[in-house]
Structure formats: structure tokens, C-alpha cells
Amino acid sequence: MTSMEERMELMKSLDESFREVRKLIQAEWNRENEHALGMTHGRMLIILSESGPQKASALAEGLQITSGGVTGIADRLIELGYVSRERSEEDRRAVMLMLTKNGEAMVQSMLQVREKVMIKLFRGMDTEDMEKALDLFTTMKRNMEREE
């Protein structure tokens, strides 16, 4: 096998390992969170908690999904009492999505679940291992963002 073929095999193995880890993280998240909220639901709640009321278009950009996708997720969160839709004070045509008090409580609960998942994910790793992993992910992110 040539070194290029070996490199491709290694990349495929890394890709498969990454997929398996993501699947396990997703399963752990699903096991730990109430109301069977998906990770995108959680990310929307966290964005609203950190950034305050948002238009659907801003959430779509932040979540990297369509505005229609935001509507479906927001509808579920509204149904659960975590989010409300309100008209913007500055522009009455604009509809803003905002967290309710129940939504804030859910964010705190989700952050605890996230911490439990991270502790499980990184157990047995020393700080040096985690720093190496962070360096690798930073490089991969930069590679994907770079224009060819």
C-alpha cells in the first residue's frame, strides 16, 4: 500500500470514529434530557438565552438551518412553554422569538446535562490530551472554512 493509500485509509477510519462518537453523544443526550428535545432545539434555547430575543432569520443563520426549520423547532418549543413569539418593539412587522421563564429553567437543566455528557466523554483524558484534541479540531475547522 502506498503512503497516499494509507493516508486515505486513516482518514476513513478517523471519519468513522468521529461519526461513532457523535452518535454516542447524541444517544447520551437523548437519554439524559426530558421532553425528548433534539440537540437543535437545545441549541436554539441556548442562543436565545445568550443573545436575547431573535428573529427567525438570525436563528436560522446561527443554527445553520432554513427559516422553515426554525419555525418547526420554535413551534415545538412554544408548545412546551419554553419560547414565545412577540412583535418587535422597534419594528411591529418583525416577530421575535424569546425565552420564557420555563425556557430559562430548561436551559439551566440542559447545561447540566451537557456537563454530564462532557465529563463522561473526556474521562480518563489528561489536560494535555484534551489540548491536543482541541488543536486538531481547531485545524479541521479552519480547513473547512478556508476557501479553495
How many whole angstroms separate alpha carbon 34 and alpha carbon 110? 9
The DSSP code for 124 is T
Tens of pLDDT, residue by residue, the chain (148 residues) = 679 999 999 999 999 999 999 999 988 888 887 667 888 999 999 999 999 999 999 999 999 999 899 999 999 999 999 999 987 777 777 789 999 999 999 999 989 988 999 999 999 999 999 999 999 999 999 999 987 6
User: Strands 95-99 and 83-87: what pairing?
Assistant: antiparallel
Confidence (pLDDT) at 1: 63
What is the CATH topology of the domain spanning 37-145?
Answer: Arc Repressor Mutant, subunit A (1.10.10)
Contact 45, 83 (CB under 8 A): yes
Confidence (pLDDT) at 43: 92
Instruction: State the pTM of this model.
Output: 0.77
| Domain boundaries defined on the chain | 1-32, 37-145
Work out the number of other CB atoms within 10 angstroms of the CB of residue 44.
29
Quick one: cell of 89? 418593539
Confidence (pLDDT) at 16: 97
Confidence (pLDDT) at 52: 94
Quick one: cell of 140? 479541521
Confidence (pLDDT) at 91: 72
The DSSP annotation for 7-21 comes to HHHHHHHHHHHHHHH
Confidence (pLDDT) at 35: 66
Confidence (pLDDT) at 90: 73
